[in-house]
Amino acid sequence: MARESTRTVQGDSAVTDAAAVGVVGLSKAYALHSTALPVLQDIRFDAAPGAFVSVVGPSGSGKSTLLGIIAGLEEPDSGSVTVGGTARRLGAVAYMPQADTLLPWRTALDNAILGLEVRGTPRREARAQARELFAVAGLSGFEAAYPSALSGGMRQRVAFLRTVLTGGSVLLLDEPFGALDALTRSEMHEWLLGLWERLSVTVVLVTHDVEEALLLSDRVLVLSPRPGRVVLSYEVRLPRPRHRAMTVSEAFVRDKALLLDAIHGVVS
């Protein structure tokens, strides 16, 4: 799977020692009724290779816009964005959009291998890789199902598998578990953490869920309401490995209160 690319990542980072994701002074506005609608303002953050960074913030604060820009799908109006030290980002990251965007004419399995296919892996080989992960994601038996026959949560997991299989050193996940029930979600959390530790990929995760952000991340960025600015960049000091039981610990509850205050605009 992405094991091969991991090696190159570690090789790269040893040579360049650049941040896996570097965002400096990023601003972005959209045109709305011939006026400029500022969406992101002066965003700055770094993710070291292998770091897990989450972005939380109210709806409309520009989280998805930020991920799209990091993925290279759009350019910022000002500021710079680098992935692995270069500004050429298309094809360098594995991006999971907020909508699952499965192709209706492909089976679940063939949707999962789309990224591999685009990057030139032969279908047979790609399918074999994907098949193994279907079991882990609780999707076995649905390999040949078309997306229209899957539940929302299953579709989201297929999209997640597609992202993981796409490979690359950086995963950009836009609310990847929003459609899942609490139980499945915490299973996916554990799996993602396992994967992240094993492959030492860099993750940027957008979420509404403060608990999710705390449980998974090294650092949580809190964005203000639009235009999004980083109001808090919080380093999570919970020990690793993390597990669900931590969410009731005193330190966790304190962190959570702090983040919620920041989201609600209480200056701390």
Partner 1 sequence: MFRPPTMTRFHTVTWLLAALPVLGILALWEVIVRALAIDPVVLPAPTRVLAATRDSAGLLAMHTRQTLLEAAIGLALALLAGCSLGALVTLSPFLRRSVYPLLVVSQTIPMIALAPLLVIWFGFGIVPKLLVVALVCFFPLSVAVADGLGSAEPETVRLLRSMGATGWQIFSKVRMPQSLPYLFSGLKISVTYAVIGAVFGEWVGAYEGLGILMQTAKNSYRTDVVFAAILVTSILSVGLFGIVAMLERLMLPWHVRGAGRQRKQ
Ligand X SMILES: Nc1ncnc2c1ncn2[C@@H]1O[C@H](COP(=O)(O)OP(=O)(O)OP(=O)(O)O)[C@@H](O)[C@H]1O
Binds partner 1 by CB under 8 A, chosen from 36, 37, 118, 251: 118
Site string for Mg ion, 91-110 (x = CB under 5 A): -------x------------
- Examine residue 54 and tell whether it contacts Mg ion (CB under 5 A): no
Does position 163 interact with Mg ion (CB under 5 A)? The reply is: no
Contact between 97 and partner 1 per CB under 8 A? yes
Pairing mode, strands 78-83 and 219-223: unpaired
Contacts for 141 with CB less than 8 Å, ≥ 6 apart: none
The sign of the torsion formed by the CA atoms of 157, 163, 166, 170 equals negative
Residue 114 within binding range of partner 1, rule CB under 8 A: yes
Query: If binding is defined by CB under 6 A, does position 54 make contact with ligand X?
Result: no
Q: Write down the least CB distance from residue 210 to Mg ion, Å.
A: 16
Instruction: Give the chain's length.
Output: 268
Q: Distance between alpha carbon 54 and the CA centroid of its chain, in Å?
A: 8
**Distance in Å, CB of 223 to ligand X, minimum:** 7
**Residue from 6, 13, 41, 65 that binds ligand X (CB under 6 A)?**
65
Output phi, psi for 206, to 5 deg: -100, 135
- How many beta carbons lie within 10 A of that of residue 257, not counting itself? 13
99 binds partner 1 (CB under 8 A): yes
Among 204, 212, 190, CA closest to 256: 212
Q: How many alpha carbons lie under 13 Å from residue 123 in its C-beta half-sphere?
A: 4
Whether the bond into 239 is cis, omega within 30 of 0: no
**Contacts with partner 1, residue ranges (CB under 8 A):** 68, 71-73, 90-95, 97-101, 103-106, 114-115, 117-119, 146-148, 152, 155-156, 166, 178-179
**Contacts with Mg ion, residue ranges (CB under 5 A):** 64, 98
**Contacts with ligand X, residue ranges (CB under 6 A):** 30, 39, 57, 59-65, 98, 226
